[in-house]
Amino acid sequence: MTKERKRPKAGSKLLVFLAAVSCAAALDIRPSKAGCPVMKTPAVDDRTVLVRALERYPATIEPDPVSICFIGDVMLHKAQIENSMNEDGSFDFSGCLDGIAEDLTDADLAVANMEFTLAGPPYSGYPSFCAPDEYAVYAAGCGIDVFLTANNHILDKGERGLKRTLEAYRLMEKELGIRMTGSAYDPEDEAGRFPLMLEVEGFRIGIVNFTYGTNAAAGKEYPGTFLTDRKKISEAIKKAEELDAGLIIALPHWGEEYRTEHSAAQEELARWLAENGADLIIGTHPHVVQDTGVIPVTGSRGRKMTVPVVYSLGNAISNMSARNTQIGLLLTVRVCRDMWGRTTGLEPDYTFTWTSLPGRLGKRHCTVKVKDYLGKREKWKTAGEYDKMVSTYYNIKRLTGIED
């Protein structure tokens, strides 16, 4: 999966000096009974010889990283629907995500939690979300490549609504090249989406998206969404490993709403995911940004590693205005393989975002990067909204310990 855009290609160089590798390092040389040295078969394999050489003369590696961007809950409340409707009944969502579109487009892969159905008219907001197809098409145009659908609202319009949603995403996959995971039409469809396997700039990525539950119960197994079933999750992760995924990302929909600190249940599940092969864990659902952490694990071949956990990205865009619900996280990770094929560079890079309601910054709901507007109070139509953004920004940083 490669985005069609011009992108500077960093040169990859691997300069390895093996001239210092002596024969003695590679061969078992012992004196014979006659006193003359006898060369025997190599005592170590070629890989070990190279490792020893590189320990003395490290390789200079400048790999091309793959950048992956994540945003949290993309919502569509009633006020957003009304604010984006034209006189002829069509919809114009321009401006909603434009403030972060460049980051989404520049990333090699951009992932978002789409917390609504595409069940067709009539459209509705909370508590039973149903968005026009134009909203998802607009999001794709802003650079989102993977739509996550495993969330508590995906069955808000029942089985019929889920079928219609999956059909809409299938059409978008065909016409726009986006991908969808988190729900499936039938067992065959599930096999291709759980895990969802992607190849990005030659790098294989496995995505495992699931939810704690749905607000409306499913009438039958299919069509359905992927739940927090540890047996199935473990099988999906193992399948991703067998398919040579260089990175396995677990994307759970979990946690307690409006709580900025993760729960014990989230931490326990995160540890289980890390121990069972997830390389990166990123959560959604609480509608506020939660704290982060790392989980030390022993990977394959006894390799010690740490698994980053971002417990909740918060809202990407919504009509919410309650405490801490307008601020969110745009998370970027840049990964690559070292010369042994191991994944490196999973250090999260955080950008705080803010969703402004109509008439406060622009005419419509719009999400912007906080740092783009710090110190620019004059740009806001209502100064109180600017003050709220700034105070929330510093308070969330204090509560979560996240630095951007």
What is the DSSP annotation of 21-52? --HHHHEEEEE-TTSSEEEEEESS-HHHHHHH
User: Coil, strand or helix: which one is 402?
Assistant: coil
Cis peptide before 223 (omega within 30 of 0): yes
- For the purposes of burial, counting CB atoms within 10 Å of the CB of 114, is it exposed (0-12), middle (13-18) or buried (19 or more)? buried
pTM: 0.85
> 37 is in which domain, residue-wise?
17-58
In a domain, 10, yes or no: no
Read off the CATH number of the domain in which 291 is found.
3.60.21.10
**165 & 72 share domain:** yes
Q: Domain ends where: 58, 76, 107?
A: 58
**34 & 160 share domain:** no
pLDDT value at residue 47: 60
To the nearest whole number, what is the mean pLDDT of the chain? 87
Q: Among all chains, which residue has been given the structure tokens 């590189």?
A: 54
pLDDT value at residue 219: 74
pLDDT value at residue 220: 79
In a domain, 295, yes or no: yes
pLDDT digits (tens, 9 = 90+) for 167-198: 999 999 999 999 999 999 999 999 999 999 99
Q: Domain ends where: 36, 58, 80?
A: 58
In a domain, 4, yes or no: no
Q: What angle do CA 315, 318, 322 make, to 5 degrees?
A: 80
Measured distance CA(224)–CA(230) in Å, rounded: 17
Backbone dihedral region of 333: left (phi > 0), alpha (psi from -120 to 50 degrees) or beta? Answer: beta
In a domain, 7, yes or no: no
**49 & 89 share domain:** no
In a domain, 3, yes or no: no
Number of compact structural domains in the chain: 2
In a domain, 265, yes or no: yes
3: CB partners within 8 A, 6+ apart: 105, 108, 143, 145
Residue pair 310/282 in contact (Cβ under 8 Å)? The answer is yes
**237 & 96 share domain:** yes
**33 & 143 share domain:** no
In a domain, 173, yes or no: yes
**186 & 313 share domain:** yes
In a domain, 1, yes or no: no
**279 & 366 share domain:** yes
Residues in the chain predicted with pLDDT less than 50, given as ranges, are 5-41, 57-60
pLDDT value at residue 217: 87
**183 & 312 share domain:** yes
**202 & 348 share domain:** yes
Cis peptide before 286 (omega within 30 of 0): no
Q: At what angle do helices 133-141 and 158-176 cross, to 10 degrees?
A: 30
**340 & 243 share domain:** yes
**148 & 253 share domain:** yes
Cα–Cα distances (Å) from 329 to 92, 201, 241, 262, 370, in that order, read 25, 25, 29, 15, 10
Across-strand partners of 51? none
**76 & 48 share domain:** no
